[in-house]
Structures are given as structure tokens and as C-alpha cells.
Amino acid sequence: MKILVTGATGKLGAKIVETLLNTLPANQIAVSVRKPEKAEGLRARGVEIRQGNFDDPESLNTAFAGIDRLLIISADGDNDTRIRQHNNAVAAAERAGVKFIAYTSIANAKKSKNFLAPVHKATEEAILKTGIPYSFLRNNWYLENEIPSIQGVLAGAPWITSAGNGKVGWALQQDYAEAAAAVLAGNGHDNTIYELSGKLLSQEALVSALSTVLNKEVPVQQVDDAVYAEIMKGAGLPDFLIPMLVDIQKDIREGTLEIESNDFEKLLGRPVTPINAALTQIINGLPQN
């Protein structure tokens, strides 16, 4: 059996590969990366490094050759670019005769109104059309996405949000990585959909947990989208990023991530990391002043 992980030098991909290395011989693992030089550490440990670029279908033909089980980690960029890139990857997997495709999707991808969902819906549909056995890993939200807000709190700022009472199933990237590795290395996952979500929490509930971890009261400042955008701009964030951040808040407010599930427990064989412990891990991993 040969498993390949795309985007393996990214934050999630690196964690997935590390998890696989804990359970499989390195010679059963390959990675596809745009810049192989960034994966030299993995090569030294016996992982096969292949050059693959989602914008270069020919490179993907070579990268996916002889692969049994493939994980396509969703790319970065605007929706149209990502849909094109993902279609290239799925088509290359079909040409290469890959026997199983796992894909990192988003919560409730088929029906979601989340602004990120069109990419994932289109990619899931492309995979289904191939007829190749699949597993859709519908990841809710990485707790690491909140690191800028956590850093702001540590610097004395309030928690600023326009997400209202919308709830999110935050979980650590490590939990998502272990779930993905379980699907790639395990049996019985053909034609499955896993809604991977931590306990649903509002912004206030998340901040309450953060207050407990920090042993200090953290105020929550609920604002509207326009004020949120102004505050983000004032914090020095680049203009191109602000509309996306506002859309994230809006989509949370409108409940697009309120998907309850115990699928994490099914794949991990344990509960998802509790929010207080997860926040502690993140805070302990931040640079110390």
C-alpha cells in the first residue's frame, strides 16, 4: 500500500504525515509538494518526495503514479482558482488509477451557504463522478484560526467579533490530522462522509474558556460587520484579507458551522481535545515575549 498526502509542507499536511509516521513504515508514505526542497526533512526519514503542482496537471500525473490511497488537502486562494486546481488533482488521480481519495472538505459542504462551501461542493462532486471510493473529511473550524484574536487578548485587547450567537465546532488541527490519518491508514472508510466537529460553542463560550485558561476576565466586544472591518483595518490587516474575515464572521453568525456530530470520536477512538486543554496547548505554543 502506498499513501500520498498533497500539501504536506502546510500546517495540517505536516501534522497528518507525522501522525502517519507513528503508525506506518515510512516507505508506505509519499508526499506531493510544489517545492520538494521544503520536504527534505521528510526525505531523510524515508518518505518519498514527489513534485506536484495543482496548476500543472502533467506534474500530478507523475506525482500520483502508483498511489493506492490519496489525500487531497484543499488548496489556498480564491474560489475559482481552488475549484480549477482541485479538478486538476481529481482528474490526475483518476488517470493514475488511484484506488481511494480522501478530501479535506468543510462542514455540511453539499448544502452549506458558507462562502467557502462552493469549492468543497464542487470538489466532492468531481470526486463522486470518478466512481473512485472516497471519504469526505468535512472539517468544521481549526482552533488555530483564532490565534490572532488570542494574541490580541494576551496583549490586552478585548475579543472582537461580529459573529453574534453563532456557534462553531472548533478543534485543534492535530485532532483533524489524526482523524485524516485514521482514514488513510485504516479500513472500512470507502464512500464515507465524516462531519468532524468539536463541541459547538458561541464566541462568548469560547472566550469564557479562554478566561478560565488565562485566569483573567476577557471582555467580548460584539460589533456589526462594518465596525468589525474597520477594527481589522485599524489592526493593520491587509485590505484584501478584510472582506474574507468579515464573511467568516457573517457565516458563523448565520449558523453555517453549527453541525453537531460525534464522528471525531468514531475516528479517533477518543473524545476530541476539550476546549480548555486545546486553548492551553495553543497558548503554550505561542512565542513568549
**pTM higher than the cut 0.85:** yes
User: How far apart (Å, rounded) are the C-alpha atoms in residues 22 and 17?
Assistant: 9
Within a domain: 104: yes
The three cell numbers of residue 121 are 461542493
pLDDT of residue 278: 98
The whole domain housing 181 covers 3-140+172-196+260-271
Within a domain: 180: yes
pLDDT at 48 over 90: yes
Within a domain: 243: no
Look up the CATH number of the domain holding residue 29. Answer: 3.40.50.720
Domain count, the chain: 1
pLDDT in tens, 196-245: 999 999 999 999 999 999 999 999 999 999 999 999 999 888 999 999 99
